[in-house]
Amino acid sequence: MPDSMKAVVLTRFGGPEAFEFMDVPVSAVGSRQVRVRVHATAVNPLDYQIRRGDYPELVPLPTIIGHDVSGVIEDIGRECTSHRRVSAIAVALHGQCCRHVAMSPCRHVAMSPWRIGVGAAMRATYALYRN
């Protein structure tokens, strides 16, 4: 795993111009986390509300937004017993997903069927939020 990756970083509140494409460090996986190699990410209403500054007291800047992602599990913390490191597509439901690699608590990751592809897995995040 490289020491850094590319990410879309929100450096100030405002419009789309508030984002910068930057190199950021890759964190080590915590004992209850998985690391997902991001293939697709989406912008949901919370993401644009954060971007425009609706929650400045809750979101310190700079930050990486994004709450919906699909990709491949690359690494798993030692206490994550319900997932395994495979080339399966995963759906992570957690913040800071607008990057090449996202970290997520184990409980926020759902394995998707092998054959649906990353686009369909991305759409599945909305169904998981509703249930």
Higher pLDDT, 93 or 8: 8
72-130: per-residue pLDDT in tens?
Answer: 788 888 888 776 665 455 565 556 655 666 677 777 676 665 556 656 665 555 444 44
Residue 22 pLDDT: 93
Residue 11 pLDDT: 97
22-72: per-residue pLDDT in tens?
Answer: 999 988 888 988 888 887 777 778 888 999 999 999 999 999 888 777 777
C-alpha closest to that of 68 among 15, 112, 26? 112
Residue type (1 letter), 53: G
Residue 71 pLDDT: 79
Residue type (1 letter), 120: A
Taking the alpha carbons at both ends of the chain, their separation in whole angstroms is 34
Strand-by-strand arrangement of the 68-76 sheet: 101-105, 33-42, 68-76, 89-93, 109-111
Q: Which residues contact 11 (CB under 8 A, 6 or more apart)?
A: 18, 19, 20, 61, 62
Residue 131 pLDDT: 37
